[in-house]
Amino acid sequence: MTPDPLAQSLHTRWQRGNVLAADCPSRPVLQHLTSRWGVLAMVALATRPHRFAELRRAVGGVSDRMLSQTLKDLESDGFVRRTAQDVVPPHVDYALTPLGHEAAARLIPLVAWIEDNIGAILAPQAA
Amino acid sequence: MTPDPLAQSLHTRWQRGNVLAADCPSRPVLQHLTSRWGVLAMVALATRPHRFAELRRAVGGVSDRMLSQTLKDLESDGFVRRTAQDVVPPHVDYALTPLGHEAAARLIPLVAWIEDNIGAILAPQAA
DNA sequence: CGGTATACTAACGAAAATGTGCGTACTTCC
DNA sequence: GGAAGTACGCACATTTTCGTTAGTATACCG
């Protein structure tokens, strides 16, 4: 399929993204937000800021390494703000930025819908 | 942070999911929907049903293997309905189920928001 | 007749994601 | 005194994910 020329011209300079295009810059951002731990970290942070270990406990099953990796990605996209106090033992806070809250506002309905409908989703599979 | 006992009792039997818990059955479903190609397939199918090759062309960069695997996952969760006509050459249609449309309705705002704000997201990174 | 399209699957190897254990420099609690 | 908690980075091993190639039976187009 050759790209639609109209869509092409609208999107070529990425004034707005078109995720369905392979080289759209939205792709990596989408992947960070929807990664295995990304969604969960965002959801947890949406309620309130967390310290690192606190967040690890909130997000069941995540390892130190994965959590810090995930947070680094989210931070580089501007969704999370990391605030470190230079003390020993270390004290670091993670909070959503305004941009992060906007993103979370789109993530939460999805997660909530799945949680609410998990019964209906799983039921046919059991049958 | 020990689990909140109230939330515990509400969620133990998974009448409703709590994705933050490691063993919540919502996890796999969430992963199927938010997988690299899962989101994109859902978004593409939300506009209209597609045949296999048509969908592959719509979702830039996906391979046959990944697409068919993704569709299989989405089908087993009840989001996608596969309709095959037993003819040669094969003719197969993929469409969202009602459940799939509900899920897509939560996926699309997320994707649209990223597409709309990709400029604002990327700008600080360039600086 | 040769090329192209269809909807996949099995098999293989490469690449990416993920977990584990260790180390840190100190504090607080038992 | 000893154990545990803190916020990671690093090296290593394993797991999973992903893409590529080959193959199928047939039809349509030129």
CATH code for the domain in which residue A30 is found: 1.10.10.10
Query: Shortest CB distance from B121 goes to which of A39, A77, A121?
Result: A77
**Which pLDDT tens digit goes with each residue over B23-76?**
899 999 999 999 999 999 999 999 999 999 999 999 999 999 999 999 999 999
A3-7, A106-110, B68-72: least confidently modelled range: A3-7
Question: At residue B12, does pLDDT exceed 70?
Answer: no
Q: Are A121 and B31 in contact (CB under 8 A)?
A: no
The pLDDT of residue A88 is 83
Mean pLDDT calculated for residue range A34-43: 96
Chain B's closest residue to A122, CA to CA, is B77
Residue A113 CA: distances (Å) to CA of A19, A39, A45, A108, B104: 23, 14, 18, 8, 11
Quote the domain boundaries for residue A68: 15-126
The pLDDT of residue B11 is 52
Give a yes or no: residue B58 inside a domain: yes
Question: At residue A12, does pLDDT exceed 90?
Answer: no
Which residues interact with strand C by a CB < 7 Å criterion?
Answer: A 35-37, 61-66, 69, 88-89; B 51-54, 64-65, 68, 72, 82, 84, 88-92, 94
Give a yes or no: residue B70 inside a domain: yes
Give a yes or no: residue B116 inside a domain: yes
Q: Are B92 and B51 in contact (CB under 8 A)?
A: yes
What is the band of A127 on the pLDDT scale with cuts at 50, 70, 90?
low
What is the number of residues in chain B?
127
Query: Shortest CB distance from A40 goes to which of B19, B59, B106?
Result: B19
Give a yes or no: residue A3 inside a domain: no
**Which pLDDT tens digit goes with each residue over A50-84?**
999 999 999 999 999 999 999 999 999 999 999 99
The pLDDT of residue B23 is 87
Give a yes or no: residue B93 inside a domain: yes
Phi first, then psi, for residue B96 (nearest 5°) are: -75, 140
Give a yes or no: residue B96 inside a domain: yes
Between A64 and B124, where is the model more confident?
A64
Give a yes or no: residue B95 inside a domain: yes
Where do runs of H (alpha helix) occur along B1-127? Answer: 5-11, 26-34, 36-47, 52-58, 64-76, 98-126
The pLDDT of residue B95 is 96
**Which pLDDT tens digit goes with each residue over B80-102?**
999 999 888 899 999 999 999 99
The pLDDT of residue B110 is 96
Q: Are B55 and A98 in contact (CB under 8 A)?
A: no
Q: What is the domain count for chain A?
A: 1
Helix (H) or strand (E) holding A90: none
Return the structure tokens found at A70. 């995930």
With b for 16 or more beta-carbon neighbours within 10 A and e for fewer, the B103-123 pattern comes to bbebbbebbebbbebbeebbe
Between CA B76 and CA B96, with CA A105 as vertex, the angle to 5 degrees is 25
Q: Which residues of B touch A26 (CB under 8 A)?
A: 111, 114-115, 118
Q: What is the mean pLDDT of chain A?
A: 88
Closest by alpha carbon to B23, among B31, B12, B32, B15?
B12
Between CA A56 and CA B123, with CA B117 as vertex, the angle to 5 degrees is 85
Question: At residue A44, does pLDDT exceed 90?
Answer: yes
The pLDDT of residue A126 is 64
Q: Provide CB contacts within 8 A for B123, sequence distance 6+.
A: none
Give a yes or no: residue B9 inside a domain: no
What is the band of A18 on the pLDDT scale with cuts at 50, 70, 90?
confident
The pLDDT of residue A10 is 46
